[in-house]
Structure 1
Amino acid sequence: MNLAHAMALGRTEFRLLRRNKLVASIAVAMPLVVGLALVTNGGSFGEQGWGMAAAVQVLQILLMTVYLTVTTALTARRQDLFLKRLRSGELSDVTILVGLVGPAVLLAVVQVVLLLGATVAVDATPPRNPLLVAAAVVLGAVMFAAAGMATTVFTPNPETAQITTMPVFLGAMLAVFVSMITRTETVRWVLLAIPGGGITELIRTGWVGARWDGTRVGFAEQLASALPALGASVLWSAVAVLAAWRWFRWEPRR
């Protein structure tokens, strides 16, 4: 991969993102509005409220800024044959994809840092295990960027991206909200089987320093308790990357 070429392509993609007001509002404005609404209300979710608020903040950023934006942008570039022209040049496939996907991922990371920083600054206790929170953000970015690439297979044009991304979007948000109201072990395993369920548990565990059932534990036990969520997140990330690598199309079907 040529990093300099990928960065140059990323700058071009970022300019195109800013010019598309609809995509820019979804990628930038909506996650910040939703996230800021949670900044001062984490305590309303109960004892582990700030962990749940952080999970909602991170997950909705990953879904809107990464997943939906990547799906829309790559579908648009494919439709206008931009991907085909890039691929006919000297750039490798990896360089092209990193350049096109990179701006959305970088923007998401900036948003996560800003919102979680604002949450701590306002009222919340800092995360007890930042390592788990960071792992959730990294795995989530990989998972939803690759999922966005894979979803372009079923997305005929940019206008339909909000429809084709809806199943994953709703499933991931369902995992967050169901985990707020119940912590039975059966439900926990069901939620881990949903893309985003493991990300939610990693953030909650890392933020409040508790097991999935709410029991406060030490640092080592937090890591041990998070292993199923970590494994589920790694597995879903691998599935998404494999699907993107196997089925991603560089030009429209004729």
Structure 2
Amino acid sequence: MNGLAAQHMRTLFHIEWKLFNRIRANYFFVVFVPLMILVAMRSVQEQLDLDRYGLNPGPLMVATSAGILLIFSLYSSVTGLYVARREELVLKRLRTGEVSDPVILAGGASMYVAITVAQIAVVAAVLSVMFDAAPRQPLSALAGLLTGVALMTAMAAATAALCRSVESVMVATLPAVFVLPMVSGVYIPREVLPDVLGDVLLYAPLSSTVDLVRSGWTAELGAAGALGRCALAAGWTVLFAWIAVRRFRWEPRV
């Protein structure tokens, strides 16, 4: 990224941060709601016989929290952001200047990316202390975080392309919000599912990110396994980015 693009990114970040702070309710929806869901999922996972499957609750909860926060704090928020800025003609005006399309989208999402990364880092640190589970493979966890951020941002842009208005964002994001955590090992670990189903769900969009984050604490993935998960996540990211490039609208639909 050249200096001009970096400057544009910083400018867009500061603008979105100021707009975010104008509405205090944003802190509730982006910060407290995902954490409340995380607490609820902890009670659900306590009902599972994790010892029977050789699962450590600490790393499992870290991966669960990462998946929940990526979906609710990043994906849902950025989808709504893209649609709102399009309807306000902000995206159209930005395109008339020297800011490139990728920088416009990345810069707009950067504020929510920062919030999500900070949330995941804090929650992971707290859970590590609670369960006395220090990271054993930090690079794997970092790879999971990076792939998850890229995937959810690309998926948000692709979803925003389907939305006609801000009001339709909630409906458009429902499949991902409800289905994605179920099939990607966020709510229920794939190990507790039948073997065939677990093997199939390995290829779900967010499964690779969940596996990489958990492996950051368990070191269950070797180099080949981690690279395979990164490649799978990259494939999904490229697919959603391609959909966004072809379908994304920069001004309101007539």
* TM-score (normalised: structure 1): 0.85
Query: Structure 1 residues 171 and 37 mapped into 2: Cα distance closer, same or farther (>3 Å)?
Result: closer
Q: Does 1:224 align with 2:224?
A: yes
Shift of 1:185: 4.3
Letter in 1 for 2:7: A
Give me the whole-angstrom Cα distance separating, in 2, the residues matched to 1:21 and 1:163: 24
Give the structure 1 partner of residue 203 of structure 2. Answer: 193
Give the structure 1 partner of residue 170 of structure 2. Answer: 162
Q: Does 1:3 align with 2:6?
A: yes
Query: Structure 1 residues 17 and 158 mapped into 2: Cα distance closer, same or farther (>3 Å)?
Result: farther
Shift of 1:69: 0.6
Give the structure 2 partner of residue 153 of structure 1. Answer: 161
Which is further off, 172-181 or 74-83?
Answer: 172-181
Which is further off, 52-61 or 92-101?
Answer: 92-101
Letter in 1 for 2:220: A
- Pick aligned residue for 1:26 from 24, 29, 46: 29
Q: Any conservation in 2 of the 1:83–1:251 contact (CA below 8 Å)? A: yes
Which is further off, 41-50 or 224-233?
Answer: 41-50
Give me the whole-angstrom Cα distance separating, in 2, the residues matched to 1:248 and 1:238: 15
Give the structure 2 partner of residue 251 of structure 1. Answer: 251
- Pick aligned residue for 1:55 from 63, 75, 81: 63
Query: Structure 1 residues 35 and 117 mapped into 2: Cα distance closer, same or farther (>3 Å)?
Result: farther
Q: Any conservation in 2 of the 1:71–1:152 contact (CA below 8 Å)? A: yes
Aligned residues: 244
Deviations 1:43-65 (A, max 9, x none): 87443222221111001111111
Query: Structure 1 residues 42 and 182 mapped into 2: Cα distance closer, same or farther (>3 Å)?
Result: closer
Give me the whole-angstrom Cα distance separating, in 2, the residues matched to 1:228 and 1:170: 26
Letter in 2 for 1:187: L
Letter in 2 for 1:171: V
* TM-score (normalised: structure 2): 0.85
Q: Counterparts in 2 of 1:230-245, with a 5 A limit?
A: 230-245=230-245
Identity %: 27
Structure 1, unmatched stretches of 5+, are: 212-221
Structure 2, unmatched stretches of 5+, are: none
Q: Counterparts in 2 of 1:85-124, with a 5 A limit?
A: 85-124=93-132
Give me the whole-angstrom Cα distance separating, in 2, the residues matched to 1:94 and 1:149: 11
Query: Structure 1 residues 111 and 32 mapped into 2: Cα distance closer, same or farther (>3 Å)?
Result: same
Give the structure 2 partner of residue 139 of structure 1. Answer: 147
Letter in 1 for 2:249: R
Which is further off, 9-18 or 142-151?
Answer: 9-18
Q: Any conservation in 2 of the 1:76–1:158 contact (CA below 8 Å)? A: yes
- The CA RMSD measured in Å over matched residues stands at 2.5
Which is further off, 44-53 or 1-10?
Answer: 44-53
Give me the whole-angstrom Cα distance separating, in 1, the residues matched to 2:138 and 2:227: 15
